[in-house]
Amino acid sequence: DSAALAQFFWSACEGAVLCAKLEQSTRALDNVSTLFFEHLLQPVKKPRAKRAGSPDSASAGPR
């Protein structure tokens, strides 16, 4: 759900800004951006479908 993801990102950024001001450091902002852009926005890797006749399909059982 893109709206929920946007709300989560906005809330995380606002919290990071508050922490950054309190700690007088950009560490919280760096953590949020790293988590969001390097982990949460990665594409989902779907397993590839096995083709009939491939070596792995022989162990799938009788045809």
Total structural domains within the chain: 1
Q: Considering the domain boundaries, does residue 6 fall inside one?
A: yes
Residue 35 lies in a domain: yes
- φ, ψ for residue 25 (rounded to 5)? -150, 150
Average pLDDT, the chain: 83
Q: How confident is the model at residue 55 (pLDDT cuts 50, 70, 90)?
A: low
Residue 24: pLDDT over 90: yes
Tell me how far CA of residue 23 lies from CA of 12, 13, 16, 31, 45, in angstroms.
16, 15, 10, 14, 37
What pLDDT, on a 0 to 100 scale, did the predictor assign at position 17? 97
Range of the domain at 29: 2-43
**Overall pTM > 0.75:** no
Query: For 6, which DSSP code?
Result: H
